[in-house]
């Protein structure tokens, strides 16, 4: 703890200081890029940022599109995240699939990770599994409906 000495030690100290400065500058740059990115169509809640590029797809396509982009199909875990996603749905005037489904066990809704959902915002009377509805769409009012996984919906990813 600060008790090294000699030329080698001084060099190391200088290198650490340089790295600390570079890290600070890098954090500032990342912060600016994040803000600009959110400004262009995105939204944020807590640590998450949500983004849509206007493309649409069924549930599998939506999932794959987000994962190919290095993200995850938007998966609201609380009301702040749900509102952030809802605002993008409103902006595009198009419902979106969320990363929640009961494909494995009817009536047991899970995140893409397989974990049971800990938050929900179902519309009145939902989920009703009309026909077979194993995926979940979010409406412009932020409420959820279980829906066939084969519809075309706005793709919203979280990063």
Instruction: Tell me if 102 sits within 8 A of 133, measured CB to CB.
Output: no
**Across-strand partners of 136?**
146
The whole-angstrom separation of Cα 87 and Cα 94 is 11
- Tell me if 94 contacts ligand 289 by CB under 6 A: no
Q: What are phi and psi of 99, to 5 degrees?
A: -80, 60
In angstroms, rounded to a whole number, what is the distance separating the alpha carbons of residues 80 and 72? 17
Q: Is 102 in the site for Ca ion (CB under 5 A)?
A: no
Residue 73 CB, shortest distance to ligand 289, in Å, is 19
- Shortest Cβ distance from residue 103 to Ca ion (Å)? 15
In terms of CB distance, is 62 or 145 closer to ligand 289? 145
**Residue 134 interacts with ligand 289 (CB under 6 A): yes or no:** no
67 binds Ca ion (CB under 5 A): no
Q: Which one, of 114, 98, 112, lies nearest residue 52 by Cα? A: 98
Q: Does 147 bind ligand 289 (CB under 6 A)?
A: yes
From 2-10, 59-67, 84-92, 122-130, give the range in contact with ligand 289 by CB under 6 A: 122-130
Number of residues counted as binding Ca ion (CB under 5 A): 5
Q: How far apart are the first and last CA of the chain?
A: 38
Instruction: Indicate whether 130 belongs to the interface with ligand 289 (CB under 6 A).
Output: yes
- By CB under 6 A, tell whether 102 contacts ligand 289: no
Q: Is the dihedral of CA 73, 146, 143, 108 positive or negative?
A: negative
Q: Contact residues for ligand 289 (CB under 6 A)?
A: 126, 128, 130-131, 133, 145, 147
């Amino acid at each position: 703890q600060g008790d090294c000495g000699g030329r080698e030690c001084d060099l190391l100290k200088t290198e650490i200081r340089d790295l600390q400065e570079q890290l600070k500058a890098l954090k500032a740059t990342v912060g600016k890029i994040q803000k600009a990115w959110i400004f262009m169509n995105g939204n944020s809640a807590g640590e998450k940022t949500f983004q849509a590029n206007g493309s649409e797809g069924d549930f599998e396509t939506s999932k794959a599109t987000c994962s190919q982009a290095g993200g995850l199909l938007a998966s609201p875990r609380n009301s702040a995240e749900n509102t952030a996603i809802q605002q993008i749905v409103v902006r595009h005037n198009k419902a979106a699939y969320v990363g929640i489904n009961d494909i494995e066990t009817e009536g047991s809704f899970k995140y893409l990770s397989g974990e049971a959902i800990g938050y929900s915002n179902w519309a009145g009377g939902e989920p009703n599994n009309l026909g077979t509805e194993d995926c979940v769409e979010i409406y412009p009012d932020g409420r959820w409906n279980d829906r066939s996984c084969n519809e075309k919906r706005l793709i919203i990813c979280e990063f």
